[in-house]
Structure 1
């Protein structure tokens, strides 16, 4: 198998408190208004308007993009998770899980092509991201895998093909270890099983300098990150730049994606989830599951690098069944951003083979 063959913003209103007066925008010009409010009152009214607009710009609704899908929420384990859905609810489920600096919208170009291939497709916002709830706790692999298990059930399915990128791949592997009955197959990019990822880095650290730098930064105490918040949007942009082709970086799609991710990172209460979820890459698993093998078929989309040669070898020891590793075009780790239709075709082909394979 070869890859790719296979509304108007609300305005703050000002009440004068006088009988017969109607509400008007704070900036409306009326005879005597400046005299009644005074310079200080005008400044306060202007600040209230600016704060309201800023609050709107930081709300989760800024990533509620339109498209050939519907936005829904499912309640799992006491929180609500957002997902964008398409396709028949009775078709096999393909669940898409984004990386540490993204959201459901990273897969928006993949949703329709996959649904047209005959699948029920759901692109998820993880706990703390996008339009999902943002509780202050619960950012560990056990919670993340448990929520994926519950999402699959809430969508009316017994199992799913899970597609994960970066920390989404870590969660996918963890789910396959903790809830094997829920995983029909895995398609992963950017990471392998967290236990194996940690061992690989410890055995050959010279291959993982970028991973070590990233993990070191995000393992600093959370309070220290307040002094470095400016570097998180930079890290988000660097992830796209490092893992996409030069031609894509010259495109309008690249600029739009950078702007969208910047907006998403500005949503209230997202910084703590981003900091903690970056740790999923080498996160701890329950001890009884540390050595659990993966029975589901696995497709790893990888780059032609020594890092991935080593990771593929390590991952092979974890998988009891079929393991396919395929090099991505242009040697990039985020093919769903550049070529979503071709990526969807590859996933659909693998999903059909995984669906046809009896579960052990």
Structure 2
């Protein structure tokens, strides 16, 4: 028998606990100190953060992170590349880290990303660039190299491919890229569901980094350091919506540039020298066939003991491979 039937008029309810507002997380949580300078680049009406080192008179190397990272994924390679004779910048893409996090704007996410890359190059005082992109950063680097060949001196693609080529392989052999397919689907979920998933960030981010690194790396302090920084970056206020938008850049449908001059296409060939840094896996060997058709001047390398994030797993070996490639360009 219910108590409120025995004692009419008495409503038994659990005591109401006042809701404690969530404390905002500052972008400065990833303002690491090191042999580089933090700078804000003003372009296209927003501010994009970059960690920069080297002489501005040297050739520019622009490092572009993927969906689950931010500028600090490259923290250990910035200074060595600068010492090798480059002006190096690791950028926080729109919505990430210490960059501005504006609400979604109407139009193509791809064109926004390309415009931001173009604006960063100009804001750093350069006309041309060596692009180095990982994951979605690599996808956009491919598209930028096709759309603006006059600005790209070389392209280094870290576990990435041109969106059209990756989407083609997904359609032909979907079972090989189930993880990427899930990522893309999650990026299309309603915003309310995405916001509610904030509490799962540590679990999701740990799983993602574990999948994409070599087994021997996952038990090291370097793995925990990289994971902690990525989680801190993901928890920055309003960063999650930028992360979701960025995940859609993996295999977006490409549109024509609005009256480009000279006229190039987002889905065209890449004439610059290309370095593919992929693990020795069958799936990447198959995707590489598309990349070689798109960019005939292509080299492929794997860094032993690494998987999909060699710049985090073995930054020294990554710098050596990149320097060797850039010396030949």
TM-score (structure 1 length as normaliser): 0.80
Q: Which has the higher helix share?
A: 1
Q: Which residue of 2 aligns with 1:59?
A: 26
Contact in 2 for aligned 1:99/1:168 (Cα 8 Å):
yes
1:351 aligns with 2:326: yes
* The one of 294, 302, 309 aligned to 2:278: 302
Instruction: Find the aligned partners of 1:291 and 1:82 in 2 and give their Cα distance.
Output: 28
1:127 is aligned to 2:94 = yes
8 A contact 1:152–1:182 mirrored in 2: no
Question: Which 5+ residue runs of structure 1 have no aligned equivalent?
Answer: 1-43, 355-360
Instruction: Tell me which residue corresponds to 2:158.
Output: 189
* Corresponding position of 1:228: 197
1:331, distance to aligned residue in structure 2 (A) = 4.7
Cα contact 2:35–2:53 (8 A) shared by 1: yes
- Give, in angstroms, the shift of residue 91 of structure 1: 0.3
For 1:341 and 1:304, how far apart are their aligned partners in 2? Answer: 19
Q: Does 1:282 align with 2:257?
A: no
2 CA distance for matches of 1:211 and 1:339? Answer: 24
Contact persistence 1:128–1:134 (CA under 8 A): yes
* Aligned counterparts of 1:261 and 1:218: Cα–Cα separation in 2: 18
In the TM superposition, what is the alpha-carbon distance from 1:349 to its structure 2 partner?
1.8
Query: How much has 1:350 moved relative to structure 2?
Result: 1.2
Equivalent-residue separation in structure 1 for 2:97 and 2:256 (angstroms)? 31
Taking the TM superposition and a 5 Å limit, the aligned residue runs for 1:149-298 are 149-287=118-256, 289-298=265-274
Mapped to 2, the partners of 1:123 and 1:334 lie a distance apart of: 15
Distance in 1 (alpha carbons) for counterparts of 2:202 and 2:287: 28
- The answer to whether the Cα contact below 8 Å between 1:81 and 1:127 also exists between their aligned partners in 2 is yes
1:259 Cα deviation after fit? 1.5
Structure 1: distance between partners of 2:267 and 2:240: 32
Is 2:147–2:266's contact at 8 Å kept on the other side of the alignment? no
Q: TM-score, normalised by structure 2?
A: 0.87
Please, which of 25, 44, 55 is the counterpart of residue 77 of structure 1? Answer: 44
Partner Cα distance (2:83, 2:254) in 1? 36
Residues 184 and 248 of structure 2 are in contact (CA less than 8 Å); yes or no, is this contact kept in structure 1?
A: yes
Aligned to 1:282, what secondary structure does the other structure show?
coil
The count of aligned residue pairs is 302
User: What is the Cα-based RMSD across aligned positions, in Å?
Assistant: 1.8
Displacement, 1:169?
Answer: 0.4
Distance 1:335 1:104 in 2: 15
Is contact 1:304-1:331 (8 Å) kept? no
Render the CA deviation track for 1:179-238: whole Å, top value 9, x for unaligned.
211211111112200111111111111221111122122222333323333344433222
What's 2:76 paired with? 109
Q: 1:186 touches 1:297 (CA, 8 Å); kept in 2?
A: yes
Provide the rounded CA distance (Å) in 2 between the counterparts of 1:246 and 1:207. Answer: 20
